[in-house]
A = this chain, B = another copy of it.
Amino acid sequence: MTDPVLTYALSREAHLIEDLKTLVSFPSVGADPAMAQGMEDARQFIEARITAMGFQKSQRLTPLDGSGQPALYAERMDAPGKPTVLVYAHYDVQPADPVEKWHTPPFDATEVDGRLFGRGISDDKAPMMIALDTLAAFIAVEERLPVNIKLLIEGEEETGSPSLTSILETHRDLLAADAVLSADGARWRPDLVALNVGSRGNTGFEMRVQTATQDLHSGRYGGIVANPLHVMSRLIASLHDADGHIAAAGFYDGVTEPTAAERAEIAAIPDNDKNTFDAIHASPHGEAGFSTLERLWVRPTLDVNGMWGGYTGAGSKTVIPNEAFAKITMRLVPGQVPQRAKEAVVAHLHAHLPDYATLEIYGERGQGGAYAVPPEHPLLAAATAALHKTSGQIPLKVRIGASLPLTEIVHRVLGMDTVMFSFSLSDEKFHAPNEFFRLSSIKDGLAAWVQIMREIALIDPVSFSPFRRE
């Protein structure tokens, strides 16, 4: 028997799509000051929707200094004795550039073969509307929500959430909840029912190797002075051993080695390596002793993102440059402290630097740690149950190799865990031309969101306590 709330929500699907098209028509590109009106139109549209469906205390949250794009906040707290969940989404979108590569107008949502194309539709406007329409359906059918809900709809996700930490610190009490349920954060693969339970952290720096104060001619100096490109090459080569392990002493300090159970869980995921590597004409390559998914999800990595020095124009120039540059970033896993991992690599570079060269480290950045939902977290259990009941499959636990600042920031500032419950899919070209959203995901999403509300309502709020840090 279908849940009456879901029946109602599904009956409103055409309205949801119309609302979604309206929302896409507002070019809410936070990075572009010329699109400030698009940001404001999106905010007002969402605020009107939230208020109309019966949320109270709608307000805009900004950092104390008043800068940045405000986040939208609203709450409906009429489920005494039930858990309180902070539902997260964001209303800002990526720029549409390069516009000429779009087959449909980026800010005029267009349906083609069961897919709705438009900038920001998959990231994160449709997933947000699914969450909101679910909550609206509960209020319409039952005149109340099954759990207490706080909404936090950010306006700076696509520009790196520069104000989020400040907003959380400023509105600590207002935002307090048992856990965060995010309508952002894509599902992994269209062929799998999965829950994302972790992401990697990141850190990085730039470096400059110098061997002289001017570029030199190889006819006059070739063989008698050090070449900084050779020095740089040896330094970079020294960062990994022959097995692909990162050679910097202390880099792996604190790394949580995957347990046998976790490895079994990962090994159970249907192999997609051939598709992954064939698509980019690359060979699998990485740390010895780990599978592709282990390398991507539970192992830290180090990559040189850029390296340069000397003459890079057309033809030949017999120059011995006096300096060489590299940009390095790392992906980190739970247990690693970003600053310490970076310091281990910098110390390794200094230890391997020959005495005829100098090394400058600068441009340090990215101090976000990795994040993993505790396996026994009640919200994760609720999400698992909801997906199982609505899809018929037990969701796989997956991770992502990238970094999700939200999860790490919320955990660090407010001590709350986050479960990703988005119904976008990772192939839907967010951040690229021709972003789309599968219309079929709306039904799947509404069903899962109705069900997860039911599941959360069954949880004794006390069971969140072990995971909360006030």
- Residue ranges of A at the interface with B (Cβ–Cβ < 8 Å): 200, 202, 204, 211-214, 216-227, 229-230, 232-237, 239-240, 276-277, 280-287, 292, 295-296, 299-301, 303-312, 315-322, 324-327, 329, 331, 354-356, 363, 365-366, 400-403
> Is the beta-carbon distance between B280 and A213 smaller than 8 angstroms?
yes
> Is the beta-carbon distance between A305 and B318 smaller than 8 angstroms?
yes
> Is the beta-carbon distance between B365 and A316 smaller than 8 angstroms?
yes
For A307, the chain B residues whose CB sits under 8 A away are 229, 232-233, 307-310, 312, 324
Query: Smallest Cβ distance from A31 to chain B, in angstroms?
Result: 13
Known contacts: A200-B219, A237-B237, A318-B329. The answer to whether A226 contacts B312 by CB under 8 A is: no
Query: Smallest Cβ distance from A188 to chain B, in angstroms?
Result: 11
For A321, the chain B residues whose CB sits under 8 A away are 305-306
Contact partner of A237 (CB less than 8 A), chosen from B230, B304, B331, is: B230
Interface majority SS on A: helix, strand, loop or mixed? mixed
Interface-centre pick from A204, A212, A304 (highest chain B CB count, 10 A):
A304
Query: Smallest Cβ distance from A304 to chain B, in angstroms?
Result: 4
Known contacts: A311-B327, A316-B327. The answer to whether A305 contacts B225 by CB under 8 A is: no
Query: Smallest Cβ distance from A257 to chain B, in angstroms?
Result: 15
Known contacts: A213-B281, A317-B305. The answer to whether A223 contacts B299 by CB under 8 A is: yes
For A324, the chain B residues whose CB sits under 8 A away are 307
Known contacts: A229-B236, A355-B283. The answer to whether A402 contacts B217 by CB under 8 A is: yes
Contact partner of A310 (CB less than 8 A), chosen from B223, B299, B305, is: B305
Known contacts: A219-B403, A286-B224. The answer to whether A366 contacts B316 by CB under 8 A is: yes
Give the distance in Å from the alpha carbon of A76 to the alpha carbon of B325 in the complex: 58
> Is the beta-carbon distance between B224 and A295 smaller than 8 angstroms?
yes
> Is the beta-carbon distance between A225 and B281 smaller than 8 angstroms?
no
> Is the beta-carbon distance between B237 and A285 smaller than 8 angstroms?
no
For A232, the chain B residues whose CB sits under 8 A away are 233, 307
> Is the beta-carbon distance between A202 and B318 smaller than 8 angstroms?
yes
Query: Smallest Cβ distance from A246 to chain B, in angstroms?
Result: 10
For A322, the chain B residues whose CB sits under 8 A away are 280, 282
Give the distance in Å from the alpha carbon of A322 to the alpha carbon of B322 in the complex: 26
> Is the beta-carbon distance between B224 and A292 smaller than 8 angstroms?
yes
Which residue on chain B has the smallest CB distance to residue A298?
A: B223
For A316, the chain B residues whose CB sits under 8 A away are 204, 305, 327, 329, 363, 365-366
For A204, the chain B residues whose CB sits under 8 A away are 316, 318
> Is the beta-carbon distance between A224 and B296 smaller than 8 angstroms?
yes
- When all copies of this chain in the complex are counted, the total is 2
- Provide 22 A-B residue pairs closer than 8 Å at the C-beta atoms, listed in order of the A residue: A211-B285, A213-B281, A216-B282, A218-B401, A220-B296, A222-B296, A223-B299, A223-B300, A224-B285, A224-B292, A224-B296, A225-B283, A225-B284, A229-B307, A230-B237, A233-B233, A233-B304, A237-B237, A305-B316, A306-B310, A306-B321, A307-B308
Which residue on chain B has the smallest CB distance to residue A242?
A: B234
Top 3 nearest A-B pairs (CB, nearest first) are: A219-B402, A306-B310, A233-B236
For A202, the chain B residues whose CB sits under 8 A away are 318
Which residue on chain B has the smallest CB distance to residue A299?
A: B223
For A214, the chain B residues whose CB sits under 8 A away are 280
Interface-centre pick from A214, A235, A318, A321 (highest chain B CB count, 10 A):
A318
Contact partner of A280 (CB less than 8 A), chosen from B212, B286, B318, B356, is: B212
Contact partner of A303 (CB less than 8 A), chosen from B227, B235, B303, is: B227
> Is the beta-carbon distance between B306 and A311 smaller than 8 angstroms?
yes
Which residue on chain B has the smallest CB distance to residue A311?
A: B306
Give the distance in Å from the alpha carbon of A324 to the alpha carbon of B444 in the complex: 44
> Is the beta-carbon distance between A212 and B311 smaller than 8 angstroms?
no
> Is the beta-carbon distance between A212 and B281 smaller than 8 angstroms?
yes
Query: Smallest Cβ distance from A158 to chain B, in angstroms?
Result: 15
Known contacts: A285-B225, A316-B327. The answer to whether A308 contacts B305 by CB under 8 A is: no
Interface-centre pick from A226, A280, A319, A322 (highest chain B CB count, 10 A):
A280
Which residue on chain B has the smallest CB distance to residue A355?
A: B283
Give the distance in Å from the alpha carbon of A316 to the alpha carbon of B330 in the complex: 12
